[in-house]
Chains A and B, each alone.
Chain A
Amino acid sequence: MIYAGVDSGSWNTKAVVIDGGARVRGTCVVRSGADLAGAAERAYDGALGAAGLGRGEVTAVWATGFGRQSVAFADGSRTELDCHGRGAAHYVPGPLTVVDIGGQDAKVIRIDAAGQRLSHRMNRKCAAGTGSFLDEIALRLGVPIEGLGALASGSAEPLELSSFCTVFAGTELLTLIRGGKRPSDLAMAAYRSLVKRIVAMDVLDGRVVATGGVIAHHPAMVALLGAELRGEIIVPPHPQEMGAFGAALAARDGAAAVGPSAGERAPLAAVEAPRHA
């Protein structure tokens, strides 16, 4: 049996296709843009294409992410809190703490030894502590976001940005550049600032698993987070697509609850009014 998940994020839309044994058969990441529904279609078809499968072969597809309501073809949905947790817990036994850093949200999700979610925290209504912070800093430093990591890798002097606020950090950056500071050190300082913000969100205990686009594309974040927490940060396979993978697992487990093989897995509780009746 084939299942799929689509994570309609504020920045990117991700799709993952899995089989009944949770093996990843195909993935796809596209920019979300303004047309969330269209992006979901493209990502879904992209992941199916990578898997060499067609829509007709999919038993169930579930949606997650901030645009989860816009995924018209989804059979069900779960929040990204559930899906990132579910996905991470598939690879890493609990107790664990999942840190997901996306474009607009940062989330800390705590999961117990049995894989049950214990709590979650999301950043306040603010860009600080999210990927948007890095995007803004890259813009100020005149490099594309894809180049920020390479720039930071040349860092020699450990600088700190004193402000969390995206706008103030930008201004501070300009002052530091005028003061002769090197862009590579400033890029690293931006990562350091983001890490400080993340570790303040909640107590990060148990195994710490990091996911999201920021983790996937900025290895410095993983190293700095590990140094800050004095421990290992586990980056699971396909960290950016973890939400979509979790949604695919939810599709499998949710489908199992109503399908003929019910009982095999713990069924998902039916909390939601059916959306596609």
Chain B
Amino acid sequence: MTTFGSTAALRATMDAYFRDVGAAAEQHLAPVAWCTSVGPAELLRALGFRVFFPENHAAMMGAARTANRYMPLAHAHGYSQEICSYLTSDIGAYLAGESPMQAYGLSGTPRADVLVFNTNQCRDVRDWFEWYGRRWNVPVVGMRSPRAIETVRDDDVDAIARQIEALVPALEAVAGTRLDAGRLEHAVRASRECSDLWEACLRTAARRPAPLNFFDATIHMGPAVVLRGADEAVTYYRTLLAELEGRAAARSAAVEGEAFRLYWDGMPIWGRLRALSSLFAEFRTAVVASTYCNSWIFSALDPADPVRSMARSSLELFIVRSEEAKEDYIARMLDLYHADGIVFHDCRTCPNNTNTRYGMPRRLGERLGIPTLVLDGDVNDLRCVSDEQMRTNVEGFIEQIADARPAAGSAAS
């Protein structure tokens, strides 16, 4: 993976965030809300909540390869091996009394005063939050979203906006404060700024050679995930963007000798991030863009119309769109990032972030005339990953792309 100067600032930002949420939870310094990745984070911040994102928490266990230690505990409580392995890692870790937060001096998973979901991504997040809601006897509230949307319509936006508004009284009661319009506007502005900067960072990879790749981006997206709506994220992405632009100008490549460029669709395989990063690099292949990292771009956010724009951005998101809208999106990204092919991750336990099961790879491959690869794996559950097969699949795919390119071997020298 690429070493960036900004990594120190990234660590400091994430560190301060974890300690802040932890202190809020353990010393009751501020109310704590759990929020799904596309939940109404801006609203929660405006109400003075410290916001905790359990998907990020679970991803940390995936990356540390501790997730498989915890999952069986959740299975034993009736949460199947077939459902979201984020959920089963996180609940299992809680049952084991362990958490990656312990590395930040916390005693464990920070306890929520309220849990706020958005079902635009999946049902699992709600089931996940309800488990804790019952355990802690705290409220679980959220947005129930339409799915498989072709084009986002005003009536859908209105409906979601009304749902967000309806959350306010319950959240005010937990926060012990009234919602202040100015604070909401500020949070939405900060969130939009974070989104724009993050998008600009990712967009530097449209250059040849790409100064960062997908695997780097999954690490550097941390602040966009957990500090959306807070000023710290904006500060961090200004630093990162400056570095990436410098690298792009200096033609400093994330993958040495970049010869092939791919698009990644689906979840990361957290426990194999490094392994996959070096595998692709070994074949001079940069994974230059991904649906996953792009999913923290919320360009509809508008401080002049906070609630409706939050509603709109939650409906415009890739995961909540129809097959056709998704295909058009990927086609645009391939064009924008000059990708030679698509890797689809068939994530065993997350059908929601898996786009291989209703024929998309074949349809897109034929429509765009580009090669596609389906990699079987999982976001956190390494029982679903075969390293040997992954290697052969990836290597075979790059051979195929290389052989289709006229005289690539001789052109390299």
Contacts and interface: CB of A to CB of B under 8 A. Distances in A.
A117 B259 CA distance: 19
B92 interface: no
Interface stretch (A75-83, A147-155, A176-184, A215-223): A75-83
A271 B284 contact: yes
A231 B389 CA distance: 30
B371 A271 contact: no
B284 A82 contact: no
B372 A271 contact: no
B254 interface: no
A118 B371 contact: yes
B404 interface: yes
Contact of A272 (B283, B386, B400, B404): B283
B403 A66 contact: no
Contact of A78 (B374, B384, B393, B399): B399
B282 A269 contact: no
* Chain B interface mostly: helix
A82 B283 CA distance: 15
A124 interface: yes
A271 B376 contact: no
Contact of A122 (B392, B398, B404): B392
Interface in B348-390: 365, 371-372, 374, 376, 384-386, 388-389
B403 A117 contact: yes
Contacts of A79: 392, 395-396, 399
B31 to A, nearest CB: 44
A267 B409 contact: yes
A105 interface: yes
Contacts of B283: 271-273
B412 interface: yes
Contacts of A117: 399-400, 403-404
A267 B410 contact: yes
Given A117-B403, A271-B402, A122 B389 contact: yes
Interface in A118-154: 118-122, 124-125
A156 to B, nearest CB: 38
What is the size category of the interface that chain B forms with chain A? Answer: 20 to 34
A116 interface: yes
B407 A125 contact: no
A34 interface: no
Nearest to B407: A267
A109 B376 CA distance: 17
B412 A119 contact: no
Nearest to A69: B391
Contacts of A66: 388, 392
Contacts of A227: none
A272 B389 contact: no
B409 A270 contact: yes
A257 interface: yes
Given A81-B396, A118-B371, A124-B376, A269 B403 contact: yes
Contact of A125 (B260, B376, B412): B376
B412 A270 contact: yes
A48 to B, nearest CB: 27
B16 interface: no
Given A257-B409, A270-B412, A119 B403 contact: no
Nearest to B285: A271
A229 interface: no
5 contacts: A78-B399, A79-B395, A117-B403, A271-B399, A271-B408
Which 6 A-B residue pairs are closest in the complex by CB-CB distance? A81-B396, A269-B402, A125-B386, A79-B396, A270-B409, A269-B408
Interface of B: 259-260, 282-284, 365, 371-372, 374, 376, 384-386, 388-389, 392-393, 395-400, 402-405, 407-410, 412
